[in-house]
Amino acid sequence: MAFSSTSTLPIFILVIIFLGTTTANFYNEFDITWGDGRGKVLNADQLTLSLDQSSGSGFESRNEYLFGQIDMQLKLVPGNSAGTVTAYYLSSKGSNWDEIDFEFLGNLSGDPYILHTNVFSQGKGNREQQFYLWFDPTSDFHTYSILWNPQRIIFSVDGTPIREFKNAESMGVPFPKNQPMRIHSSLWNADDWATRGGLVKTDWSKAPFTASYRNFKADACVVASGKSSCGGSASSGGNQAWLSEELDNTKQERLRWVQNNYMIYNYCADSKRFPQGFPPQCKMA
């Protein structure tokens, strides 16, 4: 699949009462949580994770968030990255955790990366959608965004929405809205499944594999000691006017363009996986 440059597109903007946008200082906002030195904060605005045959690496945010827009620019592992996975996601703790996932599945040189997305609520996932990208994600930094409010979750790439997961609690589907989540990222070896179902193994002669991060931005509500910086408790959101961002007609058209041209897997279309009928939230897609 040939790569082409993407045009400049509008990036979603969230306005949160009493809280402005935070542009990160990586030294203050994140901790390298594992990897024995393979994760490095290079300066206030750039961080790298590396993977070799001994170990990968990872980091997490010091803050927990409940709703907002999270932006991060990533430049993925170049060349033959088959078997590697770069995961970038929001996650809470516990056995009934919530999670919002970007995962980038490595490739053989010249093949496109697969962007894997998933949403977990109350410990239940199985809501995968996968995409190719319309550019080479290893040649430069691109912005990967999660917009999360009580009505919907929108995954975007360079301001272009690629997926919308709507609140379907009226259909009995739990939605992530009560558990604060931290930002996590990791680079790790998954050659038992990641590339062509595990058929292509990691070529360790190409190690170390390195992914780069910059320009983190959070327009979001920070939760500490059960209280939200936007006011009220973490569970109720207080009395603030909560975010109501949704896709306008132009963004809906861009979403359909991506899904028609670049989506390669949709759990809501996998009849072999769901022979008794698709999950109820698929009716809202």
Catalytic residue IDs: 99, 103
Classify 67 as helix, strand or coil.
strand
CA gap 140, 15 in Å, rounded: 28
Q: What is the 3-state secondary structure (H, E, C) of 133-184?
A: CCCCCCCCCEEEEEEECCCEEEEEECCEEEEEEECCHHHCCCCCCCCCEEEE
Q: How many residues does the chain have?
A: 285
Can you say whether the dihedral through the CA atoms of 245, 146, 138, 202 is positive or negative? Answer: negative
The one-letter amino acid at 161? P
H/E segment holding residue 116? strand 114-120
DSSP 193: T
Query: Running DSSP on this structure, what letter comes out for residue 63?
Result: S
